[in-house]
Structure 1
Amino acid sequence: MSDTQLSLDNPKSLSKLSDDQFQAVLLEGVSRTFALTIPQLPEKLYSAVANAYLLCRIVDTIEDEISLSPQQKKYFCSEFIQVVKTGNHAELFAVDLAPLLSEQTIPAEHTLIHVLPRVIQITHKFEPEQIEALACCVETMAEGMPIFQAQDLHGGLATLPDMDRYCYYVAGCVGEMLAKLFCHYSPEIAQHKDELLKLSVSFGQGLQMTNILKDIWDDAGRGVCWLPQDIFTETGFDLKNLTPETNNKNFRKGLEHLIGIAHGHLHNALRYTQLLPSHETGIRNFCLWALGMAVLTLKKIKQNLDFTHSDQVKITRNSVKATILATRLTGRSNAMLNLLFNLTSRELKTPDWTYSTQSSKDNIKL
């Protein structure tokens, strides 16, 4: 058993760790992907970004908890916003929420809720601008996600703009927060703040759309569908008829359309990364690894449109290693990054479908 698992199984042992060690152990437990990418960031960014992810994961834990009613979820989300903003009453919040978590919530998330007071203590060690960025993100996410969780999602979202709005609440606002933290860290990066903030929303949506497409059947098993019905109405398929046994060319055509749209958002993610100074290799790697893994996942989905489980389109560890190697070799050159992206993602475009991947939340009715 790893040291990480031992610490997570015994939350009291976490108290002996430094703040960075404490957050690293929690990250390893709740997200191996972010446990891999966040340490690539410069030391002055690592702690804030790690903390931000843990805060967002707490909101996710509340929203995903099957034992909580919609009213309870709304209550705990509202209370958590105030805990993050003020730093007060974190212990009471954790004591109230922890006993309500079911066995479906993974053990690492149970631990995260138990040690929530220390996570909040770390939040309020940051500079005011950083705390504001984190609190703004949590508020947007915690107010927006319950809107969708309260809906009947068996037949999907009504329209593509609804999907845009959902992606903003769960990922686009995280992109904005990261852009703010990057700009606070570097005056050189801050010169592109306006454009970075716009593109960051699209970056977040590209990653979230990739996850939605990968997890179609896992979500369907819970009676949930995040796909937009209007796309499939146009291709002649009703999402209310969706099951893992679905073998329908009209459904696959709709998937292809969404893959093309996600590809457009990931192209904006590339533009975002190219605005970062080439010497900021850590920040570039953080962005490029996420981007590269998303592109490879979309490729697997495009090549296996009849998949019935997320494991069938999950990229291999070798693919992750190849992504890391390729970005390390090309990450400082915008020209090489363009070439790599175009070569890798050329089959993701959908010639018969056009959709403007607007890079600003101004085009989303919040």
Structure 2
Amino acid sequence: MNGPQISIDKPETLQPLSDKELQAILLEGVSRTFALTIPQLPNELYPAVANAYLLCRIVDTIEDEVSLSAEQKKYFCNQFIEIVKKGKNSQAFAEQLAPLLSEQTLPAEHSLIHLTPRVIAITHSFDPAQIEALAECVETMANGMPIFQAMDLHAGLETMADMDNYCYYVAGCVGEMLAKLFCHYSPEIDQHREQLLKLSVSFGQGLQMTNILKDIWDDAKRGVCWLPQDIFSETGFDLKDLTPETDDERFRQGLEHLISIAQGHLHDALLYTQLIPSHETGIRNFCLWALGMAVLTLKKIKQNLDFNDSSQVKITRNSVKATIFATKLAVRSNTLLSLLFNITSRKLKTPDWQYSPRLPSPGQ
């Protein structure tokens, strides 16, 4: 065999690859879902969107690294914001951060950090408007996530508004970035810019809330809970009492309410997708596959409210294939897409329930 065998665990073997090959392999290593959906995009959009996800993953890697102190995380996040904006000092950043990563970090993420200079070089090969959209997203995410990392999350977030803010920093701002990239790509799409930017935040929140609900018990093992206390206060359950052994109807009622809220956000995701011209089937499929998998995950959670492990509500490969097949058939028809969404998600809404946010007391 000529040359070293390509391995995601060995960043040096990835260096000779083309930009497109490198980003595809890194995406496959850090997210199979995005490795599946991003290639559906038009060739003019694929490089920037793939790169954007890798940039966000670098921020995630910093924030999730257990060996880094809060001060170190802030330092590396601030460094990375400037690197993405200016395209400089990426080699020093990678050499400083890579040795600090623990074994708990995925091998693919180790490689991603080592290859930060290549990823940043790709970033700065784009159009200035694309670079600006990516940099704004990274800055929002890198500045926002530490706010929540510094909190005591053993008993959850305090309010649904806090959950909204968290979802914005980790997913909503990504939705905004994608909307900007889509509008830059197509003047026809840009005609709906204002609506798309608004709906994109809700789209991101729907996907993130689905992930939070699916991963409740994985997070609990780390002593973390991203659920909002006020939703469960309304049902009479205290999140500080939550354990994988919890068997409480009041907790399940709270879950149902969150599923209902998430369904509303996913309906906004449908409206977002329907604003994309019907001939842009690649962008529509990119949106619809993520939307469809989220709806099916919520359905599985709703049907198994007593689950205590994420594997119990993970959708099957056949479900993924069915989502792809159904959306490909309906992709050009807004009427069919609405019908498909309504049929699939109709049992996710909580009947006769309206969320009433807790208002601060006078003087607070």
> With structure 2 as the length reference, what TM-score do the two structures score?
0.96
RMSD of aligned C-alpha atoms?
Answer: 1.1
**Match in the other structure for 1:244:** 244
- Aligned-pair distance for 1:356? 9.4
Deviation readout 1:18-47 (Å, 9 max, x if unpaired): 111110000000000000000000000000
**Match in the other structure for 1:282:** 282
**Match in the other structure for 2:96:** 96
* Distance in 1 of aligned mates of 2:352 and 2:215: 25
> What is the correspondence of 1:41-80 to structure 2 with a 5 Å cutoff?
41-80=41-80
* Distance in 2 of aligned mates of 1:145 and 1:339: 37
1:144 aligns with 2:144: yes
* Distance in 2 of aligned mates of 1:74 and 1:11: 25
Letter in 2 for 1:262: A
- Aligned-pair distance for 1:15? 1.8
Structure 1 residues 355 and 335, CA, compared in 2 at 3 Å: closer, same or farther? Answer: farther
**Match in the other structure for 2:332:** 332
**Match in the other structure for 1:7:** 7
* Distance in 2 of aligned mates of 1:204 and 1:39: 19
- Aligned-pair distance for 1:17? 1.1
* Distance in 1 of aligned mates of 2:152 and 2:73: 16
* Distance in 1 of aligned mates of 2:160 and 2:313: 23
1:214 aligns with 2:217: no
Deviation readout 1:238-279 (Å, 9 max, x if unpaired): 000000000000000000000000000000000000000000
- Aligned-pair distance for 1:355? 4.3
Q: Does the Cα contact within 8 Å between 1:259 and 1:298 map onto a contact in 2?
A: yes
Q: Does the Cα contact within 8 Å between 2:210 and 2:294 map onto a contact in 1?
A: yes
Deviation readout 1:304-328 (Å, 9 max, x if unpaired): 0000000000000000000000000
* Distance in 2 of aligned mates of 1:341 and 1:159: 29
* Distance in 2 of aligned mates of 1:183 and 1:355: 34
* Distance in 2 of aligned mates of 1:354 and 1:287: 28
> With structure 1 as the length reference, what TM-score do the two structures score?
0.95
* Distance in 1 of aligned mates of 2:20 and 2:163: 35
**Match in the other structure for 2:321:** 321
* Distance in 2 of aligned mates of 1:356 and 1:281: 39
**Match in the other structure for 1:362:** none
**Match in the other structure for 1:160:** 160
**Match in the other structure for 2:361:** none
Q: Does the Cα contact within 8 Å between 2:215 and 2:310 map onto a contact in 1?
A: yes
Tell me, what secondary structure is at the counterpart of 2:7?
A: helix
**Match in the other structure for 1:300:** 300
**Match in the other structure for 1:178:** 178
- Aligned-pair distance for 1:164? 0.1
Gaps of 5+ in 1: 358-366
1:309 aligns with 2:326: no
**Match in the other structure for 1:36:** 36
Which piece of structure 1 moves more, 73-82 or 193-202? 73-82
**Match in the other structure for 1:345:** 345
Letter in 1 for 2:231: I
Deviation readout 1:185-217 (Å, 9 max, x if unpaired): 000000000000000000000000000000000
> What is the correspondence of 1:250-289 to structure 2 with a 5 Å cutoff?
250-289=250-289
Gaps of 5+ in 2: 358-364
